Amino acid sequence: MSIFEEVSTFFENYRGDKYVYGTSEEGRPLFAIRVGRGDAVGISQYAIHAREGITALLGLEHIRRGLKGGSVWFLPCTNPDGVKLCEEGVGTVPEENRAALIKINGGRDFSLWKANARGVDLNVNFPAKWGTGVQNRTFPSPESYIGTAPLCAKESRALYDFTLKVQPRFTVSWHTKGEEIYWHFHQPSIRKLRDRKLALALSEATGYPLREAKGSVGGYKDWCIETLKIPAFTVEAGGNALKHPLGRDALPMLIQKNLDAVARLTEVVSWK
């Protein structure tokens, strides 16, 4: 069973609050699953980069783990087209799109692909200093292409709209790899103090140090911090010795180090 099929089956069988918050460029559903109760919520999202699809399975484990308090919407696969493309190849996209994707990729091996099915890197497609990153590209690419405009990709627009709808108290984005946590984006000192408290809780739960992603802009975390003014975090799970894309054999290690992270975060965030 593919990663996306596993997420789809989990969603179908889940008996709690759940919601399809949009569709991908190829029409696949974007799933949101809620754990906990209450009007105040957090968002934990996974697999926005295609080759990091293993994080979707970590997301399912976080849902099974549950929370110690509060309420969180889990979005286990925010780039389903890309995850399918990376895992299963170009046959997962319509035939009329295949030649263009192969040309963009430089071949038929999509195992290192990060973008969606249109060559847009969703995590540089948000309106947070969009297009000014040091690695940004202005043409369709396996990674780092900013798109024609902020939120031009259906997946990033759906995540943006969903986030505005639920008004989360915090967000966490799960990536691979590096075993580190990014937690700030030009926020003022008073908010940095607030956000650092939560970042340290994540660090304690995972064992990962806090880092700064210099020159990186346009990400979901960046937008959450800059526009919504909430704490937002990117967790890079898995050691640098591992190679992209991380296979299922790496999942037990990811679970061991990260299983309690979201639950721990809900203990220290202010739900008032």
Q: How many CB atoms lie within 10 A of CB 109?
A: 12
Confidence of residue 212 (pLDDT cuts 50, 70, 90): confident
Q: How far apart are CA 172 and CA 136, in angstroms?
A: 22
* pLDDT value of residue 54: 98
* pLDDT value of residue 257: 97
Q: What is the pLDDT of residues 136-152, one digit of tens each?
A: 999 999 999 999 999 99
* pLDDT value of residue 38: 84
Which whole number is the average pLDDT over 254-269? 96
Whether pLDDT at 272 is above 80: no
Which whole number is the average pLDDT over 78-86? 98
Q: What single string gives the DSSP state of each residue in 37-52?
A: -SS--EEEEE--SGGG
Whether pLDDT at 96 is above 90: yes
* pLDDT value of residue 262: 97
Confidence of residue 213 (pLDDT cuts 50, 70, 90): confident
Least Cα distance to 18 among 39, 34, 37 occurs for 34
* pLDDT value of residue 178: 97
Whether pLDDT at 57 is above 80: yes
Q: Which residues pair with 19 in a beta bridge?
A: 32
Amino acid present at 80:
P
Averaged confidence pLDDT in the chain: 96
Which whole number is the average pLDDT over 217-243? 97
Terminal Cα-to-Cα distance of the chain (whole angstroms): 41
What percent of the chain is modeled with pLDDT above 90?
95
* pLDDT value of residue 157: 98
| CATH T-level topology, domain 3-83+123-128+152-268 | Aminopeptidase (3.40.630)
Confidence of residue 135 (pLDDT cuts 50, 70, 90): very high
Domain ranges of the chain: 3-83+123-128+152-268
Q: What is the pLDDT of residues 160-179, one digit of tens each?
A: 999 999 999 999 999 999 99
The CA–CA distances, whole Å, from 38 to 69, 115, 141, 155, 252 equal 10, 34, 41, 26, 31
Q: How far apart are CA 191 and CA 187, in angstroms?
A: 6
Task: Calculate the CA dihedral of residues 54, 59, 61, 62 and round it to 10 degrees.
Answer: 150
Amino acid present at 38:
G
Which whole number is the average pLDDT over 259-263? 97
